[in-house]
Chain A
């Protein structure tokens, strides 16, 4: 099982990094989403992988339990990355509508617009 989880994280991260390096907004957003999935699974794994265990110490059990803290961390991370992705989509859309291109690079125009 460690192998499956580890390779899942690896594939998600590799895909995320590849997409992050693209030059258009949409693939970059997808890449960040993939990276956040990868990190969520990774955070889960940081509390050791345990199957069929209760998330709290049971006074009847043998003292084996799955660590509840990473689950709380993952929940926070999911909420934050979800919100951030939404903001990013809106800003990406705004930039696309303003510039009429979804290229990430800023065109180096000789006469730069004034800041006002």
Chain B
């Protein structure tokens, strides 16, 4: 059974092929990229089916037994994350092709496939050093995508993003060194065994490594106090890339969930309660920063960026509880917030390219003002967490799961007030963009000659350009309608995540698939 490694191998083979062979033929590159991403979606569906029965599948690279060789591990959680990645990638790719973003610079499709390889690898690996390597793969591809199409501000923001992440990678290596020095292993399952054997009074070095790792993952997840890179990065990245980056913050959240639950989770004497103690206040502050940022933003894309920061805070509050029910609520919200952020960035792209500016000031209305307003309205409802879309249910599940006396007051008040501020921020932005604009008469627009008619800013969006946004919003609706089955599945997922003994015995058992 070599299915488990396919989400890594397929993009890894496709990317150089697109980069070298199809570099001058955008049509061929598009076809190959779409085919590859659809295949990835198929594989992800198959893997989800494989993992749905609750077995933890282990793939040993080179057939070396687990603590010595590198393993890929497929359980419900990693299958879910790969499926989420593949779905989002398909949507974003179609948007990028339909709006012509991929032709504005070089190597979009090759970098896109490398990005998918890194993300899928990070979700599947069962080894922390391998996680570092896949982080680097997805980061180096994201650097290229972030500065795709160039421009002064984008290059400068890209530089900040790269420096921030390189510093994070260095910290990751320091954490890995500390962890290896104190436990002698980097396999997640083996770590769980070794860390559990360390008595509480000798665990100082491990505790340092735990917190260092958490800071590294917090950089990826945009958690306070290392959240400041996100709004500038997302606002200056090409909008389809920003939509794809919606899954990148989730990589950080996934890594915290996986590593800090399996290896340093509840019930282990050396690290008992340590991750949650620090994660919880940081996540609360992150929600506040996100909400205040949404209220204060003067441009559309930073506003969405801050709403992503807020949603990461909400997600990590639930993660910080490190309990079964809170984690399944967090997973539901994770799926929701990925699509909500992506849909907002895709709508913003359609709007901003037609307004020729992303400032939140009344400008003459664009074509299809009503359509864009409706789409933005739906996206904002999802992000702010209002019924009928899934954001409401996601927040409700999180609030319901956080009933412990120490957490309830902070969680409930901050999430509820934060949601209110987010609603006000989005309502103000929407009314300025779409409502006040209608009061201004439309001037004559000059269509640039060198642009094909379908791509020129003044023209109405074609069906293919709007379809990805519609699909994302439909997915959010479906997530709300099928909340029952979905959250039942996610409860099983989080139960499997907290079944550390099952994970360890599956990974460390002799003889496996592959």
Q: Say whether A and B bind each other.
A: yes
Query: Is there a chain A Cβ closer than 8 Å to B359's Cβ?
Result: yes
Give the A-B contact count at a CB cut-off of 8 A. Answer: 117
Q: What is the CB-to-nearest-CB distance from B358 to chain A, in angstroms, rounded to a whole number? A: 6
Chain B residues whose C-beta falls within 8 Å of the C-beta of A116 in the assembled complex: 352-353, 356, 457
Query: Is there a chain A Cβ closer than 8 Å to B467's Cβ?
Result: no
Q: Which of A36, A45, A73, A94 interacts with B170 by CB under 8 Å? A: A36
Would A114 and B177 count as touching, CB distance under 8 A?
A: no
Query: Is there a chain A Cβ closer than 8 Å to B129's Cβ?
Result: yes
Tell me, in angstroms, the Cα distance from A83 to B170 when the chains sit together.
14
A116-B356, A116-B457 are contacts. A32–B167 as well, Cβ < 8 Å? Answer: yes
- Per-position contact with B for A18-43: 1 when CB-CB < 8 Å, else 0? 00100001001000100110110011
Of B86-94, B155-163, B435-443, the one contacting chain A is B155-163
- Per-position contact with B for A55-90: 1 when CB-CB < 8 Å, else 0? 000000000000001100100110011011001100
A32-B166, A80-B136 are contacts. A91–B176 as well, Cβ < 8 Å? Answer: no
Query: Is there a chain A Cβ closer than 8 Å to B150's Cβ?
Result: yes
B133, B150, B159 interface centre (most CB from chain A within 10 Å): B159
A32-B163, A87-B143, A112-B299 are contacts. A39–B156 as well, Cβ < 8 Å? Answer: no
Query: Is there a chain A Cβ closer than 8 Å to B153's Cβ?
Result: yes
Q: What is the CB-to-nearest-CB distance from A77 to chain B, in angstroms, rounded to a whole number? A: 6
Q: What is the CB-to-nearest-CB distance from A20 to chain B, in angstroms, rounded to a whole number? A: 6
Please give the number of chain B residues whose Cβ is less than 8 angstroms from any Cβ of chain A in the complex: 44
A73-B129, A116-B353, A116-B457 are contacts. A43–B173 as well, Cβ < 8 Å? Answer: yes
Tell me, in angstroms, the Cα distance from A42 to B160 when the chains sit together.
26
Query: Is there a chain A Cβ closer than 8 Å to B147's Cβ?
Result: yes
Q: Which of A39, A47, A73, A87 interacts with B174 by CB under 8 Å? A: A39
Tell me, in angstroms, the Cα distance from A81 to B139 when the chains sit together.
12
Chain B residues whose C-beta falls within 8 Å of the C-beta of A77 in the assembled complex: 173
- Per-position contact with B for A80-110: 1 when CB-CB < 8 Å, else 0? 1101100110011011001100001010000
Interface range, A side: 35 or more
Would A83 and B140 count as touching, CB distance under 8 A?
A: yes
Chain A residues whose C-beta falls within 8 Å of the C-beta of B173 in the assembled complex: 39, 42-43, 77
Chain A residues whose C-beta falls within 8 Å of the C-beta of B159 in the assembled complex: 25, 88, 91-92, 95, 104
Chain A residues whose C-beta falls within 8 Å of the C-beta of B485 in the assembled complex: none
Would B167 and A35 count as touching, CB distance under 8 A?
A: yes
Chain A residues whose C-beta falls within 8 Å of the C-beta of B239 in the assembled complex: 115
Q: What is the CB-to-nearest-CB distance from A110 to chain B, in angstroms, rounded to a whole number? A: 9
Q: What is the CB-to-nearest-CB distance from A10 to chain B, in angstroms, rounded to a whole number? A: 12
Tell me, in angstroms, the Cα distance from A106 to B161 when the chains sit together.
12
Query: Is there a chain B Cβ closer than 8 Å to A53's Cβ?
Result: no
Query: Is there a chain B Cβ closer than 8 Å to A2's Cβ?
Result: no
Would B162 and A88 count as touching, CB distance under 8 A?
A: yes
Chain A residues whose C-beta falls within 8 Å of the C-beta of B155 in the assembled complex: 91, 94-95, 98-99
Query: Is there a chain A Cβ closer than 8 Å to B371's Cβ?
Result: no
Would A80 and B153 count as touching, CB distance under 8 A?
A: no
A32-B166, A80-B136 are contacts. A104–B176 as well, Cβ < 8 Å? Answer: no
Would A99 and B163 count as touching, CB distance under 8 A?
A: no
Tell me, in angstroms, the Cα distance from A76 to B176 when the chains sit together.
13
Q: What is the CB-to-nearest-CB distance from B229 to chain A, in angstroms, rounded to a whole number? A: 12
Chain B residues whose C-beta falls within 8 Å of the C-beta of A94 in the assembled complex: 147, 150, 155
Q: What is the CB-to-nearest-CB distance from B105 to chain A, in angstroms, rounded to a whole number? A: 12
Would A114 and B358 count as touching, CB distance under 8 A?
A: yes
- Chain B, 300-326, CB within 8 A of any chain A CB: 301
Query: Is there a chain B Cβ closer than 8 Å to A46's Cβ?
Result: yes
Query: Is there a chain B Cβ closer than 8 Å to A52's Cβ?
Result: no
Tell me, in angstroms, the Cα distance from A20 to B151 when the chains sit together.
24
A106-B232, A115-B301 are contacts. A91–B158 as well, Cβ < 8 Å? Answer: yes
Tell me, in angstroms, the Cα distance from A88 to B147 when the chains sit together.
12
Chain A residues whose C-beta falls within 8 Å of the C-beta of B174 in the assembled complex: 39, 42
Would A73 and B176 count as touching, CB distance under 8 A?
A: yes
Query: Is there a chain A Cβ closer than 8 Å to B445's Cβ?
Result: no
Query: Is there a chain A Cβ closer than 8 Å to B9's Cβ?
Result: no
Would B170 and A39 count as touching, CB distance under 8 A?
A: yes
A80-B136, A87-B140, A95-B159 are contacts. A42–B177 as well, Cβ < 8 Å? Answer: yes
Chain A residues whose C-beta falls within 8 Å of the C-beta of B31 in the assembled complex: none
Would A98 and B163 count as touching, CB distance under 8 A?
A: no
A94, A95, A106 interface centre (most CB from chain B within 10 Å): A95
Q: What is the CB-to-nearest-CB distance from B176 to chain A, in angstroms, rounded to a whole number? A: 7
Q: Which of A32, A35, A46, A106 interacts with B181 by CB under 8 Å? A: A46
Tell me, in angstroms, the Cα distance from A91 to B166 when the chains sit together.
13
Chain B residues whose C-beta falls within 8 Å of the C-beta of A88 in the assembled complex: 159, 162-163, 166
Would A84 and B136 count as touching, CB distance under 8 A?
A: yes
- Per-position contact with A for B348-374: 1 when CB-CB < 8 Å, else 0? 010011011111000000000000000
Tell me, in angstroms, the Cα distance from A112 to B176 when the chains sit together.
41
Would B180 and A46 count as touching, CB distance under 8 A?
A: yes
B150, B174, B356 interface centre (most CB from chain A within 10 Å): B174
Tell me, in angstroms, the Cα distance from A36 to B177 when the chains sit together.
13
Tell me, in angstroms, the Cα distance from A92 to B161 when the chains sit together.
11
* Sample of 16 further A-B pairs with CB below 8 A, known A84-B169, A116-B353: A35-B170, A36-B170, A38-B170, A39-B173, A46-B180, A69-B180, A76-B133, A80-B133, A91-B143, A91-B147, A91-B158, A94-B147, A99-B155, A114-B358, A115-B239, A115-B353
Selected A-B contacts with CB under 8 Å, 7 pairs: A32-B166, A80-B133, A87-B143, A94-B147, A94-B150, A112-B358, A115-B353
Q: Which residues of B contact A (CB under 8 A)?
A: 129, 133, 136, 140, 143, 147, 150-153, 155-160, 162-163, 166-167, 169-170, 173-174, 176-178, 180-181, 232, 236, 238-239, 299, 301, 349, 352-353, 355-359, 457
Closest 8 CB pairs of A and B: A95-B155, A46-B177, A46-B181, A39-B173, A98-B152, A43-B177, A35-B170, A95-B159
